[in-house]
Structure 1
Protein backbone atom coordinates (compact mmCIF):
# COMPACT_ATOMS: atom_id res chain seq x y z
CA UNK A 1 0.00 0.00 0.00
CA UNK A 2 2.78 2.41 0.91
CA UNK A 3 4.58 1.72 -2.37
CA UNK A 4 1.36 2.42 -4.30
CA UNK A 5 0.87 5.64 -2.36
CA UNK A 6 4.46 6.70 -3.08
CA UNK A 7 4.09 5.93 -6.79
CA UNK A 8 0.58 7.21 -7.46
CA UNK A 9 -0.25 9.55 -4.57
CA UNK A 10 0.32 12.57 -6.85
CA UNK A 11 0.91 14.90 -3.91
CA UNK A 12 -2.59 14.15 -2.56
CA UNK A 13 -3.08 13.99 1.16
CA UNK A 14 -3.20 10.32 2.15
CA UNK A 15 -5.30 9.12 5.05
CA UNK A 16 -4.99 5.55 6.33
CA UNK A 17 -8.06 3.76 7.68
CA UNK A 18 -7.33 0.49 9.48
CA UNK A 19 -9.83 -1.77 11.24
CA UNK A 20 -9.17 -4.77 13.45
CA UNK A 21 -12.74 -5.99 12.95
CA UNK A 22 -14.13 -8.82 10.88
CA UNK A 23 -14.98 -7.98 7.30
CA UNK A 24 -18.27 -9.84 7.70
CA UNK A 25 -19.88 -6.60 8.81
CA UNK A 26 -19.69 -3.22 7.16
CA UNK A 27 -20.22 -1.56 10.57
CA UNK A 28 -16.62 -1.04 11.72
CA UNK A 29 -15.07 2.08 13.32
CA UNK A 30 -12.46 2.92 10.66
CA UNK A 31 -14.86 1.92 7.88
CA UNK A 32 -17.50 4.26 9.28
CA UNK A 33 -14.95 7.13 9.36
CA UNK A 34 -13.90 6.36 5.77
CA UNK A 35 -17.43 6.33 4.39
CA UNK A 36 -18.28 9.48 6.37
CA UNK A 37 -15.24 11.26 4.90
CA UNK A 38 -16.25 10.08 1.41
CA UNK A 39 -19.76 11.50 1.87
CA UNK A 40 -18.29 14.84 3.01
CA UNK A 41 -16.18 15.03 -0.14
CA UNK A 42 -12.86 14.58 1.67
CA UNK A 43 -11.82 11.62 -0.51
CA UNK A 44 -11.22 11.33 -4.22
CA UNK A 45 -10.12 7.69 -4.24
CA UNK A 46 -10.13 4.67 -1.96
CA UNK A 47 -7.22 2.29 -2.43
CA UNK A 48 -7.28 -1.19 -0.90
CA UNK A 49 -4.89 -4.12 -1.05
CA UNK A 50 -7.71 -6.54 -1.94
CA UNK A 51 -11.47 -6.05 -2.19
CA UNK A 52 -12.15 -8.57 0.56
CA UNK A 53 -10.30 -6.21 2.93
CA UNK A 54 -13.24 -3.83 2.55
CA UNK A 55 -15.85 -6.44 3.34
CA UNK A 56 -16.92 -9.99 2.71
CA UNK A 57 -20.60 -9.62 2.01
CA UNK A 58 -21.75 -9.23 -1.57
CA UNK A 59 -24.61 -6.95 -0.49
CA UNK A 60 -22.36 -4.57 1.41
CA UNK A 61 -19.74 -4.40 -1.31
CA UNK A 62 -22.15 -4.02 -4.24
CA UNK A 63 -23.97 -1.24 -2.37
CA UNK A 64 -20.58 0.42 -1.94
CA UNK A 65 -19.79 -0.02 -5.65
CA UNK A 66 -23.07 1.75 -6.47
CA UNK A 67 -22.55 4.54 -3.94
CA UNK A 68 -18.94 5.51 -4.70
CA UNK A 69 -19.54 6.82 -8.26
CA UNK A 70 -22.40 8.98 -6.92
CA UNK A 71 -19.95 10.42 -4.38
CA UNK A 72 -17.34 10.87 -7.16
CA UNK A 73 -14.93 8.60 -5.28
CA UNK A 74 -12.83 6.10 -7.18
CA UNK A 75 -11.89 2.67 -5.86
CA UNK A 76 -8.67 0.86 -6.72
CA UNK A 77 -7.84 -2.67 -5.61
CA UNK A 78 -4.10 -3.19 -5.98
CA UNK A 79 -3.92 -6.98 -5.72
CA UNK A 80 -7.06 -7.54 -7.80
CA UNK A 81 -5.85 -5.07 -10.44
CA UNK A 82 -9.13 -3.27 -10.89
CA UNK A 83 -10.45 0.23 -10.95
CA UNK A 84 -14.17 0.99 -10.46
CA UNK A 85 -13.98 3.83 -12.94
CA UNK A 86 -14.02 1.34 -15.82
CA UNK A 87 -16.87 -0.99 -16.89
CA UNK A 88 -14.55 -4.02 -16.71
CA UNK A 89 -13.43 -2.94 -13.23
CA UNK A 90 -17.04 -2.71 -12.02
CA UNK A 91 -17.83 -6.16 -13.44
CA UNK A 92 -14.78 -7.73 -11.81
CA UNK A 93 -15.49 -5.96 -8.51
CA UNK A 94 -18.97 -7.47 -8.36
CA UNK A 95 -17.65 -10.93 -9.24
CA UNK A 96 -14.96 -10.67 -6.56
CA UNK A 97 -17.52 -9.47 -4.00
CA UNK A 98 -19.57 -12.60 -4.68
CA UNK A 99 -16.46 -14.78 -4.40
CA UNK A 100 -15.52 -13.14 -1.07
CA UNK A 101 -18.99 -13.86 0.33
CA UNK A 102 -18.84 -17.43 -0.98
CA UNK A 103 -15.46 -17.99 0.72
CA UNK A 104 -16.80 -16.62 4.00
CA UNK A 105 -19.85 -18.91 3.86
CA UNK A 106 -17.77 -21.99 2.99
CA UNK A 107 -15.31 -21.22 5.81
CA UNK A 108 -18.22 -20.89 8.25
CA UNK A 109 -19.62 -24.26 7.08
CA UNK A 110 -16.23 -25.92 7.67
CA UNK A 111 -15.99 -24.41 11.15
CA UNK A 112 -19.51 -25.59 12.04
CA UNK A 113 -18.76 -29.08 10.70
CA UNK A 114 -15.53 -29.22 12.70
CA UNK A 115 -17.30 -28.10 15.87
CA UNK A 116 -20.05 -30.68 15.38
CA UNK A 117 -17.47 -33.43 14.86
CA UNK A 118 -15.57 -32.33 17.97
CA UNK A 119 -18.78 -32.35 20.04
CA UNK A 120 -19.61 -35.85 18.84
CA UNK A 121 -16.14 -36.95 19.95
CA UNK A 122 -16.74 -35.43 23.38
CA UNK A 123 -14.23 -32.62 22.98
CA UNK A 124 -14.83 -29.33 24.71
CA UNK A 125 -13.24 -25.92 24.34
CA UNK A 126 -13.65 -22.44 25.65
CA UNK A 127 -10.94 -22.03 28.25
CA UNK A 128 -10.48 -23.12 31.79
CA UNK A 129 -13.01 -23.18 34.60
CA UNK A 130 -13.62 -19.76 36.17
CA UNK A 131 -11.46 -19.26 39.23
CA UNK A 132 -8.90 -21.87 38.22
CA UNK A 133 -5.48 -20.62 39.23
CA UNK A 134 -2.67 -21.22 36.78
CA UNK A 135 0.87 -21.46 38.05
CA UNK A 136 3.48 -19.99 35.79
CA UNK A 137 7.19 -20.62 35.64
CA UNK A 138 9.54 -17.86 36.72
CA UNK A 139 10.60 -17.54 33.06
CA UNK A 140 7.00 -16.84 32.01
CA UNK A 141 6.59 -14.24 34.76
CA UNK A 142 9.86 -12.54 33.75
CA UNK A 143 8.86 -12.57 30.09
CA UNK A 144 5.47 -11.04 30.89
CA UNK A 145 7.12 -8.27 32.92
CA UNK A 146 9.83 -7.67 30.32
CA UNK A 147 7.37 -7.42 27.42
CA UNK A 148 5.12 -5.15 29.48
CA UNK A 149 8.05 -2.81 30.19
CA UNK A 150 8.74 -2.72 26.44
CA UNK A 151 5.19 -1.46 25.94
CA UNK A 152 3.86 -4.54 24.16
CA UNK A 153 0.06 -4.96 24.07
CA UNK A 154 -1.41 -7.35 26.66
CA UNK A 155 -2.83 -9.61 23.93
CA UNK A 156 0.60 -9.93 22.29
CA UNK A 157 2.18 -10.73 25.65
CA UNK A 158 -0.46 -13.40 26.29
CA UNK A 159 0.15 -15.01 22.89
CA UNK A 160 3.93 -14.94 23.34
CA UNK A 161 3.72 -16.59 26.77
CA UNK A 162 0.91 -19.03 26.00
CA UNK A 163 -1.45 -17.63 28.63
CA UNK A 164 -4.71 -15.68 28.64
CA UNK A 165 -4.94 -11.89 28.83
CA UNK A 166 -6.53 -12.08 32.31
CA UNK A 167 -3.48 -14.10 33.42
CA UNK A 168 -1.19 -11.37 32.07
CA UNK A 169 -3.16 -8.73 33.98
CA UNK A 170 -3.07 -10.87 37.14
CA UNK A 171 0.70 -11.33 36.92
CA UNK A 172 1.29 -7.63 36.31
CA UNK A 173 -0.89 -6.75 39.34
CA UNK A 174 0.69 -9.43 41.48
CA UNK A 175 4.31 -8.54 40.67
CA UNK A 176 3.93 -4.77 40.31
CA UNK A 177 7.23 -3.31 41.56
CA UNK A 178 5.59 -0.09 42.82
Structure 2
Protein backbone atom coordinates (compact mmCIF):
# COMPACT_ATOMS: atom_id res chain seq x y z
CA UNK A 1 0.00 0.00 0.00
CA UNK A 2 1.22 3.51 -0.81
CA UNK A 3 0.86 5.82 2.18
CA UNK A 4 1.67 9.52 1.89
CA UNK A 5 3.12 11.93 4.41
CA UNK A 6 3.12 15.71 4.06
CA UNK A 7 4.45 18.40 6.36
CA UNK A 8 4.43 22.17 6.43
CA UNK A 9 6.38 24.23 8.94
CA UNK A 10 4.02 27.16 9.52
CA UNK A 11 0.32 27.92 9.45
CA UNK A 12 1.00 30.33 6.55
CA UNK A 13 2.13 27.51 4.27
CA UNK A 14 -0.32 25.42 2.27
CA UNK A 15 -0.22 21.63 2.11
CA UNK A 16 -2.32 21.34 -1.08
CA UNK A 17 0.65 21.04 -3.45
CA UNK A 18 2.00 18.07 -1.51
CA UNK A 19 -1.44 16.44 -1.17
CA UNK A 20 -2.12 16.75 -4.90
CA UNK A 21 1.24 15.15 -5.76
CA UNK A 22 0.76 12.34 -3.22
CA UNK A 23 -2.76 11.61 -4.47
CA UNK A 24 -1.55 11.56 -8.08
CA UNK A 25 1.24 9.14 -7.04
CA UNK A 26 -1.47 6.70 -5.90
CA UNK A 27 -1.39 7.13 -2.11
CA UNK A 28 -4.42 5.53 -0.49
CA UNK A 29 -3.94 7.41 2.79
CA UNK A 30 -2.18 10.71 3.51
CA UNK A 31 -1.03 11.93 6.91
CA UNK A 32 -0.12 15.61 7.51
CA UNK A 33 1.71 17.61 10.16
CA UNK A 34 2.01 21.37 10.64
CA UNK A 35 5.30 21.45 12.53
CA UNK A 36 8.99 22.07 11.91
CA UNK A 37 11.00 19.25 10.37
CA UNK A 38 13.55 19.64 13.16
CA UNK A 39 10.98 18.39 15.68
CA UNK A 40 11.40 14.63 15.98
CA UNK A 41 8.02 13.90 17.61
CA UNK A 42 5.29 14.73 15.12
CA UNK A 43 1.73 13.48 15.78
CA UNK A 44 0.79 12.43 12.22
CA UNK A 45 4.21 10.86 11.64
CA UNK A 46 3.86 8.83 14.86
CA UNK A 47 0.41 7.62 13.80
CA UNK A 48 1.77 6.79 10.35
CA UNK A 49 4.55 4.71 11.90
CA UNK A 50 1.93 2.60 13.71
CA UNK A 51 0.05 1.93 10.45
CA UNK A 52 2.97 1.12 8.12
CA UNK A 53 3.43 -2.62 7.51
CA UNK A 54 5.90 -4.82 5.66
CA UNK A 55 5.55 -4.27 1.92
CA UNK A 56 4.12 -0.74 2.29
CA UNK A 57 5.76 2.29 0.70
CA UNK A 58 5.91 5.65 2.44
CA UNK A 59 5.65 8.41 -0.15
CA UNK A 60 6.83 11.97 0.56
CA UNK A 61 6.86 14.98 -1.72
CA UNK A 62 10.49 15.78 -0.77
CA UNK A 63 12.93 14.23 1.69
CA UNK A 64 12.99 17.36 3.85
CA UNK A 65 9.29 16.76 4.60
CA UNK A 66 10.31 13.61 6.50
CA UNK A 67 13.27 15.13 8.33
CA UNK A 68 15.87 17.86 8.07
CA UNK A 69 18.78 16.17 9.83
CA UNK A 70 20.85 13.46 8.23
CA UNK A 71 20.77 11.51 11.49
CA UNK A 72 16.94 11.44 11.55
CA UNK A 73 16.65 10.47 7.89
CA UNK A 74 19.16 7.65 8.28
CA UNK A 75 17.37 6.41 11.42
CA UNK A 76 14.15 6.34 9.40
CA UNK A 77 15.95 4.45 6.65
CA UNK A 78 17.21 1.81 9.10
CA UNK A 79 13.70 1.49 10.54
CA UNK A 80 12.20 1.09 7.06
CA UNK A 81 14.77 -1.53 6.06
CA UNK A 82 14.22 -3.48 9.29
CA UNK A 83 10.43 -3.42 8.83
CA UNK A 84 10.47 -4.14 5.08
CA UNK A 85 9.05 -0.72 4.17
CA UNK A 86 10.16 1.27 1.11
CA UNK A 87 10.51 5.04 0.92
CA UNK A 88 9.66 7.02 -2.19
CA UNK A 89 10.41 10.73 -2.62
CA UNK A 90 8.62 12.30 -5.56
CA UNK A 91 10.75 15.43 -6.13
CA UNK A 92 14.09 13.67 -5.87
CA UNK A 93 12.87 10.56 -7.76
CA UNK A 94 14.10 8.26 -5.01
CA UNK A 95 12.70 4.78 -4.50
CA UNK A 96 14.51 2.80 -1.80
CA UNK A 97 13.06 -0.47 -3.01
CA UNK A 98 16.13 -0.50 -5.32
CA UNK A 99 19.87 -0.43 -4.52
CA UNK A 100 20.32 2.71 -6.62
CA UNK A 101 17.43 4.36 -4.78
CA UNK A 102 19.10 3.63 -1.43
CA UNK A 103 22.36 5.22 -2.61
CA UNK A 104 20.59 8.29 -3.97
CA UNK A 105 18.65 8.57 -0.68
CA UNK A 106 21.86 8.83 1.34
CA UNK A 107 23.29 11.44 -1.03
CA UNK A 108 20.15 13.59 -0.89
CA UNK A 109 19.87 13.21 2.90
CA UNK A 110 23.41 14.59 3.24
CA UNK A 111 22.49 17.48 0.93
CA UNK A 112 19.35 18.29 2.97
CA UNK A 113 21.42 18.52 6.16
CA UNK A 114 24.04 20.63 4.36
CA UNK A 115 21.30 23.04 3.21
CA UNK A 116 19.94 23.29 6.76
CA UNK A 117 23.42 24.07 8.11
CA UNK A 118 23.90 26.78 5.46
CA UNK A 119 20.60 28.38 6.49
CA UNK A 120 21.70 28.37 10.15
CA UNK A 121 25.07 29.91 9.26
CA UNK A 122 23.45 32.66 7.17
CA UNK A 123 20.96 33.41 9.94
CA UNK A 124 23.73 33.67 12.56
CA UNK A 125 25.82 35.89 10.26
CA UNK A 126 22.84 38.17 9.68
CA UNK A 127 22.15 38.43 13.42
CA UNK A 128 25.82 39.21 14.12
CA UNK A 129 25.86 41.91 11.44
CA UNK A 130 22.70 43.46 12.89
CA UNK A 131 24.19 43.44 16.41
CA UNK A 132 27.38 45.05 15.10
CA UNK A 133 25.21 47.89 13.79
CA UNK A 134 23.64 48.28 17.24
CA UNK A 135 20.34 46.53 16.55
CA UNK A 136 19.04 44.35 19.32
CA UNK A 137 16.71 41.50 18.47
CA UNK A 138 14.13 39.80 20.59
CA UNK A 139 10.85 40.82 22.05
CA UNK A 140 10.29 44.43 23.11
CA UNK A 141 10.19 44.96 26.87
CA UNK A 142 6.70 44.78 28.38
CA UNK A 143 7.15 47.87 30.56
CA UNK A 144 9.18 51.06 30.24
CA UNK A 145 12.12 51.52 32.60
CA UNK A 146 10.20 53.53 35.24
CA UNK A 147 7.44 50.91 35.45
CA UNK A 148 10.02 48.10 35.61
CA UNK A 149 11.71 49.84 38.56
CA UNK A 150 8.33 50.29 40.24
CA UNK A 151 7.50 46.60 39.80
CA UNK A 152 10.86 45.62 41.32
CA UNK A 153 10.34 48.10 44.19
CA UNK A 154 6.89 46.64 44.90
CA UNK A 155 8.41 43.14 44.82
CA UNK A 156 11.12 44.01 47.35
CA UNK A 157 8.71 45.92 49.62
CA UNK A 158 6.79 42.66 50.20
CA UNK A 159 3.58 44.66 50.79
CA UNK A 160 1.84 43.02 47.82
CA UNK A 161 1.61 39.45 46.59
CA UNK A 162 3.25 38.43 43.33
CA UNK A 163 -0.21 38.04 41.76
CA UNK A 164 -1.18 41.56 42.87
CA UNK A 165 1.99 43.10 41.44
CA UNK A 166 1.55 41.24 38.16
CA UNK A 167 -2.11 42.29 37.98
CA UNK A 168 -1.33 45.95 38.67
CA UNK A 169 1.50 46.06 36.15
CA UNK A 170 -0.17 43.86 33.53
CA UNK A 171 2.75 41.42 33.32
CA UNK A 172 3.27 37.71 33.91
CA UNK A 173 5.16 36.17 36.82
CA UNK A 174 8.14 35.13 34.64
CA UNK A 175 8.36 38.71 33.36
CA UNK A 176 8.35 40.09 36.92
CA UNK A 177 11.03 37.62 37.97
CA UNK A 178 13.18 38.55 34.98
CA UNK A 179 12.92 42.23 35.95
CA UNK A 180 13.89 41.40 39.55
CA UNK A 181 16.81 39.27 38.37
CA UNK A 182 18.14 41.99 36.04
CA UNK A 183 18.14 44.67 38.77
* 2:20 alignment counterpart: 2
Please list every run of 5 or more consecutive structure 1 residues that lacks an aligned counterpart in the other structure: 133-178
* 1:109 alignment counterpart: 121
* 1:160 alignment counterpart: none
* 2:44 alignment counterpart: 30
How many equivalent pairs are there?
126
Question: Are 2:38 and 1:20 aligned?
Answer: no
Give the alignment's Cα RMSD to 1 decimal.
2.2
Aligned 8 A contact 1:25 1:57 in 2: no
Structure 2 SS opposite 1:27: coil
- Normalising by structure 2, what TM-score? 0.61
Question: Are 2:79 and 1:73 aligned?
Answer: no
> CA 1:20/1:7 → structure 2, altered by over 3 Å: closer, same or farther?
closer
Please list every run of 5 or more consecutive structure 2 residues that lacks an aligned counterpart in the other structure: 1-18, 145-183
Structure 2 SS opposite 1:66: helix
Superposition pairs of residues 1-178 of structure 1, within 5 angstroms = 1-6=19-24, 8-9=26-27, 13-14=28-29, 16-38=30-52, 41=53, 44-130=56-142
> CA 1:3/1:107 → structure 2, altered by over 3 Å: closer, same or farther?
closer
Q: CA deviation at 1:125?
A: 2.6
> Greater share of strand residues, 1 or 2?
2
- Normalising by structure 1, what TM-score? 0.63
Aligned 8 A contact 1:24 1:56 in 2: yes
- Between stretches 18-27 and 123-132, larger displacement belongs to 123-132
- Between stretches 50-59 and 64-73, larger displacement belongs to 64-73
Find the structure with the greater CA-based Rg.
2
